[in-house]
Amino acid sequence: MRAAGFPNGVAMPDQSCPKGLPLSFAQEQLWFLDLLSPGETGYNVQMNYRLRGPLDEAALRRALTWLVARHEVLRATFREADGTPFQVIERWNEVELTVVDRTGLTPEKRAATVRADLGAVAGTPFDLAAGPLHRFTLVRLADDDHGLGLGFHHIVVDGWSVGIIGGELAAAYESFRAGTEPDLPAPALTYRDFVADQRERGTEEARELDFWAERLVGLPELSLPTDRPRTPASGLVAGDVVRDHAADFHRDLRLFAEQHDTSLFIVLAAAVAVVLGRHTGLRDIAIGVPMLGRTDPDLEDVVGMFINMVVLRVDLGDDLRFDELLARVADASLDLYDHQEVPFEQVVDRVRPSREAGRNPLFQVSLQVLGSANSPSAFALPGLAAEWLEPVTTSATFDLNINYFELSDGMRVHLSYPADVFDRWRVDAFLGHVDQVLRSVLKDSRQPVSGIGILTDAELDRVLSASDERAYVVDPKGNLLPRGVPGELLLGGAEKWIRHMLDKAELAPENFVADPFRESFVVYRGGDRAIWSSDWELAVIHETETPETTPTQTAAVTAVAEAATPTESALVEIFETVLGGRRIDLDANFFELGGNSLDASRVVSRINKTFGVKASVRLLYGDNTVRAIAGAVDELKA
């Protein structure tokens, strides 16, 4: 490649590519999600720091420019032709470092100001077509006090890339500050090499897709109790919970993992699965796991979006012990490594789960553990004290996005969630329950999973004193359930008193059993279900039956109706073109007809061009049939 002059004489290769390059499969999915929900910021990656000490702003600006010039994917923009995306690598130029002058503030106001300023930057959408997809912000508080924000769109970086960026930025800053040039060896490969190899290999290998189809058959949908109904726009308002764990707790967990011949991730995944089981009543749990995706060691120094989401399926059944659960999760995780290269969207296409706008297919909870070397906390600039600021999530991509970061002095967990679906107390409680499970199994790893208590001591005291009527809400194994989780109602006290309260002398004697929580009392199990509210008020749940459509009823609808309007006819032609000529049922939705997310963008592109409208990809989601889509297009035309 031709070397191009870098400011102050540093030679950098000209890696620009004005012609379109293909996307990786992971990039393709993020491009589609941006098309589906333009302006959302759930895939903004923002690292914010407080820097104390004398900062060389000129050296920092040059180091940032050097970093963007070194990694071509940071100069990518994303466009489309006829619904098919491609990326363009722009020539490097000196990057923009936005400086916000906040000098003159009292020390007491500085922390809040930095968080507010950098939080506002994190909530600003990226334009994938216009670029740039990096954003650098410096908040100047004093000569020796700054806030630094490093922002990217996820389509060009992943978690591993954060470690690369931090390390190389520090090395370049040190060199420029000393008046020398950075002397880091160039990566052996580039991101475009990875994309080309991925496309050449293909991922239509039947054996790999067969594995996932078999592994995920019959996977139940994990539905956590919510505080507000879900909508297609759920997740636009996000919340964050950050907890720091002491070094001794972190050390104990690592030692526990070593003693059981497993990893910290396996221990945390098992504990999270136990809590998810209690909160949902499921014994079959799906957790999304981001896999590194860098199967070639030469890619470990390359910045880019490599990760691929896979589904860890955890079976909590069979009355197994926790140490047996660890072995089960470990075995399942090994399979993930062996089959991690199949793009998640192709797995979705093969498995065909129900698709719903506002919900991720196949899993609703994701989990990852980042070691200290790849944690944002590892970032440091020579001559400065760097403090990693708590992350701010502006929109949520999953119900629970759980990230554990190993630190030099402990462990931090960051959980982001849709605040328009869940209240903060519920998410706080969830993390408290995970901690409780971990502390419990540290004492006894051989205890039955079904008997592990998830309530904290404070919750347990509150539950036992929450009602004068001594009512409990329990799971099928008799474990006390926390606020917000429905379960079986046990009414406790003396038998005579219970009969009086229920005004029923004919209550079946066999439904009175010993109170498992109080001596000399009994509980009545009448089959009722109840739930504790956020303020510990007990509410009985009145179940309602809903009619189900039987397979026979579904199969009976076999006739394919003819198009009745010009719009329906045109849509049928568009669908047939994109979906390979298959017969189009006007009363089926897009995904029932065999469409996938990339097909959806091609369909919408043709709809907009044919009818002169500006339809969103959301039009194809939910229960919208072809006939209903035609009606929506007619409304857009009106």
In tens, the pLDDT along 183-220 reads 999 999 999 999 998 888 765 566 788 999 999 999 99
Mean pLDDT of 92-118: 94
Mean pLDDT of 522-527: 84
Look at 520 and 256; give whichever has higher pLDDT.
256
- Which amino acid makes up residue 328? R
pTM here is 0.83
CB 166 within 8 A of CB 152: no
CB 135 within 8 A of CB 154: no
pLDDT category, 386, cuts 50, 70, 90?
Answer: very high
CB 353 within 8 A of CB 201: no
pLDDT category, 462, cuts 50, 70, 90?
Answer: confident
DSSP 53-65: S---HHHHHHHHH
Which CB contacts under 8 angstroms, 24+ apart, belong to 265-269? 265/333, 265/367, 265/368, 265/369, 266/326, 266/329, 266/330, 266/333, 267/326, 267/438, 268/367, 268/369, 268/404, 268/434, 268/438, 269/312, 269/314, 269/329, 269/333, 269/367
Q: State how far Cα 288 lies from the chain centre.
A: 8
**Nearest alpha carbon to residue 32 among 420, 348, 287:** 348
pLDDT category, 5, cuts 50, 70, 90?
Answer: very low
CB 48 within 8 A of CB 122: yes
CB 251 within 8 A of CB 407: no
Residue 161 has pLDDT above 60, yes or no: yes
551 contact partners, CB below 8 Å, separation of at least 6? none
Highest mean pLDDT among 119-123, 273-277, 532-536, 600-604: 273-277
Rounded to whole angstroms, the Cα distance separating 565 from 635 reads 13
Look at 234 and 242; give whichever has higher pLDDT.
242
CB 77 within 8 A of CB 130: yes
Residue 549 has pLDDT above 50, yes or no: no
The count of other CB atoms within 10 Å of the CB of residue 196 is 14
**Nearest alpha carbon to residue 193 among 341, 64, 294:** 294
Rounded to whole angstroms, the Cα distance separating 498 from 512 reads 10
The count of other CB atoms within 10 Å of the CB of residue 503 is 6
Mean pLDDT of the chain: 87
Virtual torsion, Cα 622, 624, 629, 632, nearest 10 deg = -80
299 contact partners, CB below 8 Å, separation of at least 6? 189, 194, 306
Rounded to whole angstroms, the Cα distance separating 182 from 15 reads 18
CB 266 within 8 A of CB 331: no
Residue 586 has pLDDT above 70, yes or no: yes
CB burial class (10 A; 0-12, 13-18, 19+) of residue 287? Answer: buried
In a 3-state reduction of DSSP, which class is residue 72? helix
Burial code of 422-447, b = ≥16 C-beta within 10 A, e = fewer?
bbeebbebbbbbbbbbbebbeeebee
What are the structural domains of the chain? 3-195 (3.30.559.10), 206-222+237-378+389-451 (3.30.559.30), 458-541 (2.30.38.10), 551-637 (1.10.1200.10)
Mean pLDDT of 144-165: 95
Residue 514 has pLDDT above 80, yes or no: yes
Lowest mean pLDDT among 141-155, 268-282, 523-537: 523-537
Highest mean pLDDT among 43-47, 106-110, 322-326: 322-326
Q: Report the largest interatomic distance among the alpha carbons of the chain, rounded to a whole angstrom.
A: 94
**Nearest alpha carbon to residue 341 among 279, 384, 299, 385:** 299
Q: Given this model, what pLDDT does residue 56 score?
A: 97
Q: Given this model, what pLDDT does residue 292 score?
A: 87
Rounded to whole angstroms, the Cα distance separating 253 from 407 reads 13
Mean pLDDT of 352-363: 82
In a 3-state reduction of DSSP, which class is residue 631? helix
428 contact partners, CB below 8 Å, separation of at least 6? 241
Burial code of 533-545, b = ≥16 C-beta within 10 A, e = fewer?
eeeeeeeeeeeee
Lowest mean pLDDT among 117-131, 168-182, 271-285, 593-607: 593-607
Q: Which two tokens stand for residue 553?
A: 């009823």
Residue 168 has pLDDT above 50, yes or no: yes
Q: Given this model, what pLDDT does residue 279 score?
A: 96
- Which amino acid makes up residue 380? A
pLDDT category, 4, cuts 50, 70, 90?
Answer: very low
Q: Provide, rounded to the nearest whole percent, the portion of the chain with pLDDT above 90.
A: 54
